[in-house]
């Protein structure tokens, strides 16, 4: 079996990729300038004539955009196609403001399916294999993204959606499911239920997980618990949905970004200037092959770095992005120490006997912030052990408690790990 869906594209040299990007960048700038008042206003404010954009070297002169632009232009003020050509829409909502809307015409749905088909093949899923899609089928893009790609890749689809874990397990065994799609926290829930009912899923070999950042140690736990190889799939509503921007391959040394479809930048969060490969900053994407709502220099809020642009052992040549460390707005500052929730997860998972469920609680008592970590663990793991290890990682000692396995709250979908408590004397 070939592990490539589109080998000619996936193995092009970096020089060839840059040529494709330059040509497509010019085209997409012309496209949005002719059809979007939003983009015309941005170019005018920056003193840019779209006709002067001649390739990648001109990209840095274009102002960035963000999730807030989607909210400000809700629902379809950034649309670049006739509304009658639209075929689908997906939304993601934050805690404030209007939701982010991504609309699709036939071209965009096919582009999404193409990106996803590459991810499936890269994971070792071939035509006719049986997969189970556990994200919900609704306004959230996850379920439909996996579905569109699976149709294009010729897979046998069990579209369960979220919840009813016992039935999920039964279907996986009844239909000999090879691969599961979902969020990491739901994979952990399946693991727990399997342990409770003393069963396994012998046919299950592959898991593709997105929508949540997760540490290397958490990845190892879920691989061992389900007996699978886990893949980190990347994409967001603004770029077109799950898998649009890439996934890691069997080498598991970074997320391959589909550079014929998106220009990848990593920028300094303060100066907004591009950073060199290897330097950590905010991930920025420009879509090169989308029609309805293309994004030009979208600031994702995700923190990462480019690992390499060299040919990967898997044979692919597209840039590899490190596992997402967190989001800019996820950074926590406690007692003068800056850190991301994923760093806490990595530290917890490195403690023998600590389970996969935990809570990070930020306490604000009369304006003074403190940290409490609640974690499930096997008998023998003490609060002192957890505190000592976290102090070594974070530089200070958080409060916290150790709970018996199964006692902290669960969610069927995307996990909530960070909680805020504010109180006074």
- Give the CATH number, domain containing residue 247: 3.40.50.12780
Query: Which residues, at least 6 apart from 143, have a Cβ–Cβ distance to it below 8 Å?
Result: 133, 135, 136, 137, 159, 161
In this structure, are 359 and 268 located in the same domain? no
Range of the domain at 76: 1-328
Both 290 and 409 in one domain: the answer is: no
> d(Cα 44, Cα 47) in Å, to the nearest integer?
5
Q: CA angle, corner 41, sides to 40 and 46, nearest 5?
A: 100
For every one of its 425 residues, what pLDDT tens digit does the chain have, with 9 covering 90 and above?
789 999 999 999 999 999 999 999 999 999 999 999 999 999 999 999 999 999 999 999 999 999 889 989 999 999 999 999 999 999 985 545 688 999 999 999 999 999 999 999 999 999 999 999 999 898 989 899 999 999 999 999 999 988 889 999 999 999 999 999 998 888 988 998 999 999 999 999 999 998 777 778 888 889 999 999 999 999 999 999 999 999 999 999 999 999 999 999 999 988 999 999 999 999 999 999 999 999 999 999 999 999 999 999 999 999 999 999 888 877 777 766 777 787 888 888 888 888 888 888 888 776 677 888 899 988 888 888 888 888 887 777 788 789 998 888 876 666 778 888 876 65
Boundary residue ending a domain (282, 305, 328): 328
Domain boundary among 328, 362, 382: 328
Distances in whole angstroms, Cα of residue 117 to Cα of each of 75, 181, 366, 389: 29, 13, 52, 41
62 and 44 in a single domain? The answer is yes
**Domain match, 283 and 348 both:** no
Answer whether 0.85 is exceeded by the pTM.
Answer: no
CATH number reported for the structural domain that contains residue 398 in this entry: 3.30.300.30
Whole-number Å distance between alpha carbons of 108 and 86: 9
Residue among 264, 232, 235 at smallest CA distance from 251: 232
């Amino acid at each position: 079996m070939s592990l490539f869906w589109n080998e000619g594209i996936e193995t092009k040299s970096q020089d060839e990729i840059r040529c494709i990007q330059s040509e497509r960048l010019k085209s997409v700038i012309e496209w949005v300038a002719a059809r979007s008042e939003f983009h015309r206003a941005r170019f005018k404010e920056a003193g840019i004539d779209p006709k002067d954009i001649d390739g990648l070297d001109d990209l840095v002169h274009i102002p960035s955009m963000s999730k807030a632009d989607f909210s400000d232009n809700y629902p379809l003020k950034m649309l670049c196609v006739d509304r009658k050509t639209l075929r689908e829409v997906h939304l993601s909502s934050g805690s404030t403001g209007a939701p982010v809307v991504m609309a699709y015409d036939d071209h965009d749905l096919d582009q999404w399916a193409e990106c996803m088909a590459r991810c499936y093949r890269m994971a070792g899923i071939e035509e006719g294999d049986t997969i189970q899609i556990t994200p919900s089928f609704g306004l959230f893009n996850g379920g439909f993204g996996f579905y569109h790609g699976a149709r294009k890749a010729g897979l046998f689809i069990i579209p369960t959606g979220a919840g009813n874990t016992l039935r999920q397990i039964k279907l996986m065994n009844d239909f000999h499911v090879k691969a599961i799609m979902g969020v990491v926290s739901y994979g952990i829930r399946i693991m727990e239920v399997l342990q409770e009912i003393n069963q396994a899923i012998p046919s299950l070999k592959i898991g593709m997980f997105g929508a949540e950042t997760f540490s290397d140690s958490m990845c190892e736990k879920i691989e061992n618990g389900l007996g699978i190889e886990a893949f980190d799939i990347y994409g967001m509503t603004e770029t077109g949905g799950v898998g649009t921007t890439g996934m890691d391959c069997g080498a598991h040394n970074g997320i391959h970004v589909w550079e014929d479809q998106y220009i990848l930048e990593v920028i300094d969060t303060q100066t907004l200037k591009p950073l060199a490969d290897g330097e950590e900053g905010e991930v920025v994407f420009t879509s090169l092959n989308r029609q309805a709502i293309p994004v030009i220099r979208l600031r994702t809020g995700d923190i990462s770095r480019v690992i390499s642009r060299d040919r990967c052992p898997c044979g692919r040549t597209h840039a590899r992005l490190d596992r997402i460390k967190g989001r800019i707005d996820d950074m926590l500052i406690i007692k003068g120490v800056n850190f991301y929730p994923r760093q806490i997860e990595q530290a917890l998972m490195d403690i023998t006997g600590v389970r996969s469920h935990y809570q990070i609680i930020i306490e604000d008592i009369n304006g003074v912030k403190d940290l409490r970590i609640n974690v499930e663990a096997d008998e023998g793991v003490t609060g002192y052990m957890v505190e000592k290890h976290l102090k070594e990682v974070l530089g200070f000692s958080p409060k916290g408690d150790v709970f018996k396995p199964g006692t902290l709250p669960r969610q069927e979908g995307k996990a909530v790990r960070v909680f805020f408590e504010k109180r006074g004397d």
